[in-house]
Amino acid sequence: MLITTKEIQTSGVQFGTSGARGLVTQFSSNACAAFTHAFISSITDKFEFKRVAIAIDNRPSSPAMAQACIQAIHDSGLEAVYYGVIPTPALAYSAMQDNIPCIMVTGSHIPFDRNGLKFYRPDGEITKADEQAILNANVEFTPVTALPELEVNPKAAQQYVERYTSLFETGLLSGKRIGIYEHSSAGRDLYPEIFTQLGAEVISIARSDEFVPIDTEAVSDEDKAKAKAWLKEYELDFIFSTDGDGDRPLVADENGDWLRGDILGLLCAKAMGVDALAIPVSCNTVISTSGEFSRVSLTKIGSPYVIAEFDTLAKEYPAFVGFEANGGFLLGSDISVNGNTLKALPTRDAVLPALMVLVAGLEDGIAPLVNQVSTRFTDSDRVQNFATEKSREILAKAEGQESKLLKLLGYETEVTEVDTTDGLRMTLANSDIIHLRPSGNAPELRCYAESDSVEKAKQLVQTVLSKVQTLDTSLL
Task: Please say if 11 is a catalytic residue.
Answer: no
Q: How many Cβ atoms sit within 10 Å of the Cβ of residue 245?
A: 34
Strands 444-451 and 433-438: antiparallel
**Cβ-count burial of 354 within 10 angstroms (0-12 exposed, 13-18 middle, 19+ buried)?**
buried
Burial of 1 (0-12, 13-18, 19+ CB in 10 A): exposed
Distance between CA atoms of 254 and 346, rounded to whole angstroms? 30
3-state class of 138 per DSSP? coil
140: left (phi over 0), alpha (psi -120 to 50) or beta: beta
CA atoms of 199 and 465, how far apart (whole Å): 44
CA distances to 37, 148, 319, 383 from 42, rounded to whole Å, are 9, 24, 30, 36
**CA 47 – CA 13 distance, rounded (Å):** 26
Are 279 and 302 within 8 A, CB to CB?
no
Task: Considering the candidates 42, 108, 282, 391, report the single residue annotated as catalytic.
Answer: 108
Label residues 208-222 b or e (16+ Cβ within 10 Å = b): eeebbbbbbbbbeee
What's the Cα-to-Cα distance from 269 to each of 56, 129, 299, 403, rounded to whole Å? 29, 28, 17, 36
Contact 160, 166 (CB under 8 A): no
Cα 340 from Cα 353, distance rounded (Å): 17
Provide the β-strand partners of residue 21.
14, 116
Q: Which amino acid is residue 202, in one-letter code?
A: V
Active site residues: 108
